Amino acid sequence: MQADLSPVIAATAQWLTRAFPAAGGALASALCEVQARQAVTVAAWLRYPTATDAALLGIVGPGGSARLDWVTGAGPDPGDGGHDGDPGDDGDPHAWRTWVDEVVASWAASLLGDPGLAARAVAALADGAHGTCSPAGFRRLVAPDDGDRSAAALLRHPDLLAPVADLHRHQLLDRLSPGRTLIA
């Protein structure tokens, strides 16, 4: 089943690392990419917990990066009829952007900004069809060391992530704690 989510995981992780690039050279870029991919994998597995969910995503598609681009200042307001993630509509040569999932990106941003929330999310994966997951398999996400934090300073900065994380954070919190009460 992971293969069914591979295009979404790859594209969404790529979007995150382009929106919040590594601070440093090749090693920093690799560490940043690993952290983004781990966060996106956890978010995608939570969002699409069954083979049926993943199959439906393959049919309807993830939606693209248009709103995320707009929220981060990288593109026009999607309501203006501009960039909608479809490379054929506006000449965008980056077809991978059509595979970006806004909710998965938002959830991943929430996890990257809060290692405690990330640990809860990894623990919640045990309930899904993706098999048992140990926090060790997602160590760079749940327990980043100084090198991880330094390499992904922008990718883990809660204030910078807030516009993306806030888009769908409430859905992630509902997924992790069904029936919780919101305090206004």
Q: How many CB atoms lie within 10 A of CB 52?
A: 11
User: What is the pLDDT, as a whole number, of residue 76?
Assistant: 56
Report the predicted TM-score, pTM, of the whole model to 2 decimal places.
0.86
Read off the pLDDT of each residue in 35-47 and give the average, rounded to a whole number. 97
Two structure tokens written together for 164: 């993306």
Which one is predicted more confidently, 75 or 1?
75
Read off the pLDDT of each residue in 52-63 and give the average, rounded to a whole number. 91
Which one is predicted more confidently, 28 or 80?
28
Is a pLDDT exceeding 50 seen at residue 85?
no
> How would DSSP label each residue in 90-135?
H----GGGGG-BHHHHHHHHHHHH-HHHHHHHHHHGGGSTT----G
Q: What are the boundaries of each domain within the chain?
A: 2-176
DSSP state of 181: P
10 Å CB burial of residue 15 (0-12, 13-18, 19+) is buried
User: What is the pLDDT, as a whole number, of residue 111?
Assistant: 98
For the chain, the average pLDDT equals 86
